[in-house]
């Protein structure tokens, strides 16, 4: 009920009581000896007094009735105390830390988010949204800032990471899944492709020429070398071609899965896993190397160069296309992976709990600021709007209770006080 509606309702009742009082007073003037008229007059008088008293009391909460200045307009005069009390009650009772956390604990946030996104096909907008933001970030990439952040992240990772455990898990996983063999095959394929280049043979020849020159230090050694080259006894070009061919054959043999060298590499990797698992000295050595590396790490220039190379060589539309593909895949994986959803739920609950602990005071601040913006009249209307129905009934009940009390007093005086109490008092006083 609006504030004006409750006042209008209560004012109508008070006006009705005043009308009844005026009618009873007129009837008493014309029928002074009528018992019914006397009773009606007394009840109407008491009802009017009760209604006026409660009208004054309720109005005094918000304004100055008839300009009466003492202890009136209580709410505007006490607005600071009221605002502090309301904000404190909201912060400490209605929306306390524990109550908010309890309510959040009963809500599966991930399911709420997933349900909202799937409603009306909102998840279909995610790839396009991700593509737009990733493309904008890529187009406005601050390479020095990216390099600084990358170096900071790498240093923090190296300072905190358990490289021994990571290495152990990585090696165990690669051996168990066969990824180690795949990596070896990839490495051999790259080495074979590089070795097959004619530049490799020329590099071998340059090495042999340099080795021969370094070996001939005295005059007679140089003479022998010149004679050998002149008689074709020493031909570094042929030697380089033979070594090049042998190198290609060796790499071809290593490509066979059962080659002894590959078996030896697997055995060394397995031994490394065992050492990382049970050798504290090995773990301590890795940790020492990790911390030293983190302290010496200076990668800003290299990271800037890598980032610049990536930006320069990437197609213009690549970031958006990549983001769109990855978002679709990630969403499908997220919905199908219960463990991932549980992990995200745990992270969300933990983050919200920390946010509530650190920022809970904002509840009182928001309430206090909202109420402080209200003028005195607005504050009155705000409270009247919330309690208007009850305030109306307080005023109406004042008239009803006043009339009832007036009737009881009349009956007490007429049928108990005058016939019994007054004679008794007179007899005692004589």
Q: What was the pLDDT predicted at 220?
A: 41
Q: What was the pLDDT predicted at 23?
A: 93
* pLDDT for residue 208 is more than 70: no
Tell whether 93 is covered by a domain: no
Given 245, 276, 298, the domain boundary residue is 298
- Greater pLDDT, 111 or 224: 111
Are residues 70 and 149 both part of a single domain? Answer: no
Domain count, the chain: 2
Are residues 386 and 265 both part of a single domain? Answer: no
Full residue range of the structural domain in which residue 229 is found: 142-298
Tell whether 60 is covered by a domain: yes
The whole-number average pLDDT for the span 52-56 is 87
Are residues 186 and 269 both part of a single domain? Answer: yes
- Greater pLDDT, 381 or 324: 324
Tell whether 102 is covered by a domain: no
Residue 271 and residue 222 in contact, taking contact as beta carbons nearer than 8 Å: no
Report the run of H or E that residue 177 belongs to, with start and end: helix 163-177
Are residues 170 and 270 both part of a single domain? Answer: yes
Place of tokens 């109550």: 99
* C-alpha span between 189 and 195 (Å, rounded): 10
Q: What was the pLDDT predicted at 219?
A: 43
Are residues 162 and 241 both part of a single domain? Answer: yes
Tell whether 26 is covered by a domain: yes
Residue 162 and residue 267 in contact, taking contact as beta carbons nearer than 8 Å: no
pTM given for the model? 0.46
Are residues 275 and 395 both part of a single domain? Answer: no
Tell whether 381 is covered by a domain: yes
The whole-number average pLDDT for the span 68-96 is 81
16-52 pLDDT per residue, tens: 989 998 998 999 888 888 888 888 988 989 998 988 8
Are residues 416 and 275 both part of a single domain? Answer: no
Tell whether 195 is covered by a domain: yes
Are residues 284 and 395 both part of a single domain? Answer: no
Q: What sections of 279-374 are H helices per DSSP? A: 280-296, 300-313, 318-336, 338-359, 361-372
Count the helix, strand and coil residues of the chain and give each as a percent rounded to the nearest 5.
85, 0, 15
Are residues 294 and 167 both part of a single domain? Answer: yes
Are residues 149 and 66 both part of a single domain? Answer: no
Are residues 294 and 147 both part of a single domain? Answer: yes
Q: What was the pLDDT predicted at 227?
A: 43
């Amino acid at each position: 009920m609006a504030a004006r509606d409750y006042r209008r309702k209560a004012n109508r009742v008070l006006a009705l009581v005043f009308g009844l009082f005026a009618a009873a007073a007129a009837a008493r003037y014309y029928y002074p000896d009528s018992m019914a008229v006397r009773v009606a007059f007394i009840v109407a008088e008491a009802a009017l007094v009760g209604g006026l008293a409660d009208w004054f009391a309720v109005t005094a909460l918000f304004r100055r009735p008839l300009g009466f200045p003492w202890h009136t307009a209580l709410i505007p005069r006490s607005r600071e105390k009221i605002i502090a009390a309301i904000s404190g009650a909201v912060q400490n009772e209605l929306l306390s830390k524990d109550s908010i956390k309890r309510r959040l604990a009963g809500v599966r946030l991930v399911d709420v988010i997933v349900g909202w996104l799937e409603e009306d096909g909102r998840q279909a907008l995610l790839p396009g949204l991700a593509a737009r933001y990733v493309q904008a970030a890529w187009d406005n990439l601050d390479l020095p800032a990216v390099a600084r952040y990358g170096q900071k992240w790498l240093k923090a990772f190296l300072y905190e990471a358990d490289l021994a455990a990571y290495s152990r898990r990585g090696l165990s996983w690669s051996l168990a899944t066969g990824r180690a063999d795949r990596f070896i095959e990839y490495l051999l394929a790259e080495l074979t492709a590089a070795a097959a280049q004619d530049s490799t043979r020329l590099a071998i020849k340059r090495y042999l020429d340099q080795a021969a020159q370094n070996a001939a230090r005295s005059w007679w050694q140089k003479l022998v070398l010149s004679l050998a080259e002149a008689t074709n006894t020493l031909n570094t070009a042929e030697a380089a071609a033979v070594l090049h061919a042998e190198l290609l054959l060796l790499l071809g043999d290593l490509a066979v899965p059962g080659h002894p060298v590959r078996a030896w590499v697997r055995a060394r990797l397995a031994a490394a896993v065992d050492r990382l698992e049970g050798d504290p000295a090995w773990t301590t050595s890795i940790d020492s190397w990790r911390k030293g590396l983190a302290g010496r790490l200076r990668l800003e220039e290299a990271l800037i160069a890598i980032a610049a190379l990536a930006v320069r060589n990437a197609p213009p539309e690549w970031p958006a296309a990549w983001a769109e593909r990855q978002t679709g895949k990630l969403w499908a994986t997220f919905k199908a992976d219960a463990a991932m959803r549980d992990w995200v739920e745990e992270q969300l609950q933990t983050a919200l709990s920390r946010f509530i602990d650190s920022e809970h005071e904002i509840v009182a601040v928001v309430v206090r600021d909202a109420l402080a913006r209200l003028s005195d009249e607005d504050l009155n209307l705000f409270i009247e709007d919330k309690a208007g129905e009850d305030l109306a009934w307080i005023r109406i009940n004042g008239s009803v209770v006043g009339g009832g009390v007036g009737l009881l007093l009349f009956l007490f005086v007429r049928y108990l006080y005058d016939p019994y109490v007054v004679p008794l008092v007179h007899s005692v006083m004589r």
